[in-house]
Amino acid sequence: MPNILQTNQLTKTIDGRDLVKNVNIHVKRGEIYGFLGPNGAGKTTVMKMITNLWKPTSGSVELFGEKLTKSSYEVLKRMGSMIEFPCFYDHMSGKENLQLHCEYMGYFTPGCVENALEMLGLSEAGEQPVKRYSLGMKQRLGIARAILCKPELLVLDEPTNGLDPAGMKQLRDLFGMLRTEYGITIILSSHMLSEVESIADMIGVIHHGRMRTEISMREISEKNTAYIELTAGDSRKAAYVLTEKLGLDHFRVMDERSIRIYDTRIDTQDISKALAMHEVQLVSISKKSESLEDYFLKLTEEGEKSC
Amino acid sequence: MLKLIKLEWKKNNIIKYIRNAVILAVLLCLFIYALAFLGIANDPDGTLDAAEGMNTISAPIELFTSMSFLIFTSVMLASFIVSAYKNKTMNLMFSYPIKRQKILASQMTAVWLFNFAALVITKLFLYASVSIGSRGMQSPFLIDFDMGDLSFYVQLLMKAVVTVSMSFIALFVGMYMKSSKATIIASFILIFLTQANIGDYSLADNRVFPIALTVISFIFAVLSIYNAETKDLL
């Protein structure tokens, strides 16, 4: 599959300070890309360069197979974006704001405004002026505006900011729907992994302006399967019990005393019972699981050390 | 371009500005009327208290309309453009598939056209009021214009162009300093520079000066949008 969005050694320096340095992102068509990083890592900076609001100091952005230049305007028709907190013309209603957006984008499909409002649950509030909106409503209106013109690529900077858990859930469902039904590619940033882990296909982690890793969700979950850590008096004896008596084969003898069992369906009690019956000394047994959150923290902490 | 200008008016709530311009015109009219016929500028003995050469009625009309509308234009430019940068709606505008220079040019044109029209209408309104009033009343001022003469209208339009264009200088200052207040303060300074007298010398009467000023104003207008394509928005 071709990359719909790609950055090559993207660097932005302002006043001698590298906001982001040598960032390489690869987003394939039709996937949801979670762009993760703690606050101030450079997520917004990268997104501003993707949407051509900021020009890179060096490196380049490739969108739809074309390099972004300072006069790339046509490409903006094919993307929807929401960078930082969305701004509106406060005295106008939500609906009017969206209509204005259509005018500027040159997009005229009847009913698209009503449709977008409905998708974000703003049908009723649509007639009210935006100055009366709450934070979460503005956020949702911003997303409505981003998806209004059925873009091929959706760039959303912290879209769940200011939303309640129900709102977040609703958004996740919406993103999933947009991808499957309209084939929209979505890149969304967040500082919380838990927000994107259920919907993202790919994760890019940025820290202190540098890419830490780019990894598919599948790989992460394979890397981070939970296991049972078992410390026994004699690991070889214990391993024998595990294979012969419990019928387990998915485990690894780490050293003379410890074993990791990757088959987590088995109960720890059954293991300790079996070991006791066969007179294998059991020092400790515990379930371990490295959640994505841990993985994410590990990545960013490594960054901390190297900096 | 025309469409962009219309959208600018729409989203910046042009109705509000029309209302304000009408209020301004009415206040100016009352003031000029009072000057011309009610004698508020007269000494207690009934003679006009005005400097030599300033005892014509067109002098206060030109002075006060130019002053008011230069400020009015700067205020509009400040809220259309400078504060759009500040409240980030410019970020939104620049995410559209429209050339940035074109966006800025359309905003500037939207303000320019509006104020040019408003200034011309206001001036005509004032001159007409004074001219109607002078039929029945005596004024200490000299009624020095002839509304039947074509050159009167040509001059009126030219002066309006100079006045409204001058606000681009204020816009440049405001954009450079990223401040709406700076835009408006700059317009006040421009008034002092162009309308004030130093002894016998005043820039207001010079013939070359208005042309030079307009040229300079447009240079500043171009400078304001020149590097919009590459400049980052903060």
- For residues A118 and A180, state if they share a domain: yes
Q: Do B230 and A81 touch (CB under 8 A)?
A: no
Q: Which of A14, A52, A87 sits opposite B89 (nearest CB)?
A: A87
Pair (A217, A263) in one structural domain? no
**Do A214 and A256 lie in a common domain?**
no
Using the beta-carbon criterion (under 8 Å), do B97 and A105 form an inter-chain contact? yes
Complex prediction ipTM: 0.80
- Asked if A84 and A181 sit in the same domain, the reply is yes
Residue of B140, B45, B232, B221 whose CA lies nearest to A51? B232
More confident residue, A93 or B50: A93
Contacts of B2 in chain A (CB under 8 A): none
pLDDT in tens, A16-61: 888 888 989 999 998 999 988 888 888 899 999 998 888 889 999 9
Same domain flag for A128 and A253: no
By C-alpha distance, the chain B residue nearest A45 is: B234
Look at A54 and B232 and tell me if their CB atoms are within 8 Å: yes
Let me know how long chain A is. Answer: 307
- Give the global pTM: 0.80
For the ranges A57-66, B85-94, B143-152, B175-184, the lowest mean pLDDT is seen at: B143-152
Q: Do the domain assignments include residue A301? A: no
Domain shared by A202 and A237, yes or no: no
Lowest mean pLDDT among A79-93, A164-178, A215-229, B11-25: A215-229
Q: Which of A221, A241, A269 is the last residue of a domain?
A: A221
CA distance A203 to chain B (A): 25
Per-residue confidence (pLDDT) for residue A117, from 0 to 100: 92
Which residues in chain B touch residue A100, judged by CB atoms under 8 angstroms apart? 7, 10-11
Provide the residue range defining the domain that includes A13. Answer: 3-221
Tell me the pLDDT tens digit for each residue of B83-102: 888 888 888 888 888 998 99
Mean pLDDT to the nearest integer, B141-155: 82
Distance CA B147, CA B141 (A): 17
Question: Which ranges in B13-99 belong to alpha helices (H)?
Answer: 14-33, 58-77, 83-86, 89-93
Strand positions, DSSP E, B53-211: 197-198, 201-202
Q: What is the pLDDT of residue A242?
A: 83
**Is the predicted pLDDT of residue B206 greater than 80, yes or no?**
no
For the segment B38-57, the average pLDDT, to the nearest whole number, is 70
Residue A242 and residue A131 share a domain? no
More confident residue, A231 or A227: A231
**A79-82: strand order across its sheet:** A79-82, A153-156, A185-190, A32-36, A202-207, A210-216
For chain B, say whether A93 makes contact (Cβ under 8 Å): no
User: Among all residues of chain A, which has the CA nearest to that of B101?
Assistant: A71
Whether B151 has its CB under 8 Å from any CB of chain A: the answer is: no
- Which of the listed residues A221, A256, A278 is the one where a domain comes to its end? A221
Q: Do A212 and A236 lie in a common domain?
A: no
Looking at the structure, tell me whether residues A160 and A48 fall in a common domain. Answer: yes
Nearest by CB to residue B97, choosing from A74, A83, A92, is A74
| Predicted pLDDT of residue B165 | 92
Does one domain contain both A259 and A161?
A: no
- Domain harbouring A216, CATH code: 3.40.50.300
Q: What distance in Å separates the CA atoms of residue A292 and residue A67, rounded to the nearest whole number?
A: 34
B98 touches chain A (CB under 8 A): yes
CA dist B90 and B110 (Å) reads 16
Is A175 among the domain residues? yes
pLDDT of B203 higher than 80: no
Average pLDDT over residues A9-17: 89
**Domain-located, residue A294:** no
